[in-house]
Amino acid sequence: EPEVTQTPSHQVTQMGQEVILRCVPISNHLYFYWYRQILGQKVEFLVSFYNNEISEKSEIFDDQFSVERPDGSNFTLKIRSTKLEDSAMYFCASSPTIKTSGAYNEQFFGPGTRLTVL
Amino acid sequence: DAKTTQPNSMESNEEEPVHLPCNHSTISGTDYIHWYRQLPSQGPEYVIHGLTSNVNNRMASLAIAEDRKSSTLILHRATLRDAAVYYCILDRGSTLGRLYFGRGTQLTVWP
């Protein structure tokens, strides 16, 4: 069964360093997402991406964050200058359809990358 | 975001049915009701969704109240692998697809 994969599973970095989190969505999916979950807290939406551009972003997704689909398979989240509060699990998700009103879109989540900022 | 209310935690014994409730009194006519779950140390996983009618799939059943202000996720025979946080999420009918996760219900299954 196809699945979303994420690398690395755990990333440790120093405050102020840049990190890139990588995701390979399911191959025929069109919509891509990043979420994060700080330890013990809710899963929070960061950004959605469709047709090579950001569709929606949350207030968390500030200028330190960027997303890219550099080729036909990878979807990346870059944090330019990490802060202590960026420590969290980061989940990539993809869905096969464009979300239209009245329809549903099942999102398929990856296993996550645990980011630890020291 | 559309508001849902779920109990913080529930417990069940293995092999018994589990009914996980969710209240969503402000639901609008085009909102889908989704359930996701998150097993320990994993990403969320889709369980089931519905609009008005009750729904069944291989994982669970979804019972939706006639006024749609509440729903219940039914696990017919809980197993230890069903121990997870279960999230009831309203899909607000926008075209953008973001999911709003609340705190969910932590389900503990006892052997």
Q: Which of A109, A113, A114 to mutate to test the interface with B (most CBs of B within 10 A)?
A: A109
Residues B63-100 as b/e (b if ≥16 CB within 10 A, e otherwise) read bbeeebebbbbebeebeeebbbbbbbbbbbbeeebbbb
Report d(CA B60, CA B86) in Å as an integer: 12
Which pLDDT tens digit goes with each residue over B39-76?
A: 998 999 999 999 899 999 988 999 999 999 999 999 99
pLDDT attached to residue B1: 56
Please report which confidence band the pLDDT of residue B103 belongs to, taking 50, 70 and 90 as the band edges: very high
Positions of chain A with pLDDT under 50: 101-102
CB pairs under 8 A between A and B: 65
Using a CB–CB cutoff of 8 Å, tell me whether B49 touches chain A: yes
CA distances, B110 to each of A36, B21, B42, B83 (Å): 30, 19, 20, 9
What is the pLDDT at residue A104?
A: 62
